[in-house]
């Protein structure tokens, strides 16, 4: 899957091991590196569709974050991203077609509960 970043600064923070560890600490940095590797290796977002989500627990967000997805890191931190398609691939029911998502844009690493 193609992985892009919202900003150059975010790409640098998440791509350079030293920066990553300095900003997020050793544990979260290790989890972020794993999540980015599995996202890049995936054929599409369907590889993470529940119930096959595994440790990543990938899920769609709701409310003012509709259209975004998140993956678990260390509680309560999440990797936030969105499909990088125009138009969005939609299923017959009108929801997101996870199998059609082959490119994503990383938006943030944050605590979505606080």
Q: CA 89, 92, 95, 101 torsion: positive or negative?
A: negative
Q: Domain range holding 84?
A: 2-111
- Supply the pTM of this predicted model: 0.93
Q: With cut-offs at 50, 70 and 90, classify the pLDDT of residue 28.
A: very high
For 15-67, give the DSSP string. Answer: H-HHHHHHHHHHHHHHHHHHHHHHHHH-SSGGGG-TTS-GGG--EE--GGGTT
Per-chain mean pLDDT for the chain: 92
* pLDDT value at residue 114: 67
The CATH code of the domain that includes 11 is 3.30.2310.20
Task: Please give the tally of structural domains in the chain.
Answer: 1
């Amino acid at each position: 899957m193609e992985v892009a970043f919202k900003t150059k600064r975010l790409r640098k923070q998440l791509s350079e091991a030293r920066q990553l560890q300095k900003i997020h600490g050793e544990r979260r940095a290790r989890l972020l590196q794993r999540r980015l590797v599995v996202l890049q290796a995936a054929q599409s977002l369907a590889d993470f569709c529940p119930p096959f989500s595994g440790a990543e627990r990938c899920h769609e967000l709701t409310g003012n974050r509709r259209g975004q997805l998140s993956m678990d890191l260390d509680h309560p931190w999440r990797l936030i991203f969105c499909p990088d398609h125009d138009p969005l691939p939609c299923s017959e029911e009108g929801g997101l077609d996870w199998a059609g998502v082959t490119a994503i844009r990383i938006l943030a690493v944050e605590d979505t509960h606080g």
